Amino acid sequence: MNSTNPTRGIIHETYSFALDGEYSSGHNEHKVTVIEWWKSGELKNKAKEVKVDENNTYFRHTKKNGWRKYNKSNKTFRPKIYTGTSLWFVKTS
């Protein structure tokens, strides 16, 4: 890990969906700890995997699909349940 990288951050999650003609949207923030960093390429020293501080939820970044919820025990990604889901990582100190 590069010493300039923080070990803490926030995952911002926004979502929107329509159900039975009703529109709904929301926003969550998850305080996280960085577990793994990208080691090479254009994403070198960027967060690759983070863990939510309050529970066993993980988020993992892939070059193709960006940030997604990740099941660490069986190494699979959880499907996005809302079509308008967006996730992004913000560094803190």
Q: Is the pTM of this model over 0.85?
A: no
Domain range holding 36? 8-91
Q: State the total domains in the chain.
A: 1
pLDDT at 78: 80
**Which of the residues in the chain have pLDDT under 70?**
1-6, 80-84, 93
Residue 3 lies in a domain: no
pLDDT at 2: 46
Integer Cα distance of 6 and 91 in angstroms: 7
pLDDT at 37: 94
Q: Output the CA torsion 73→56→59→49 (10° steps).
A: -80
pLDDT at 6: 63
Residue 79 lies in a domain: yes
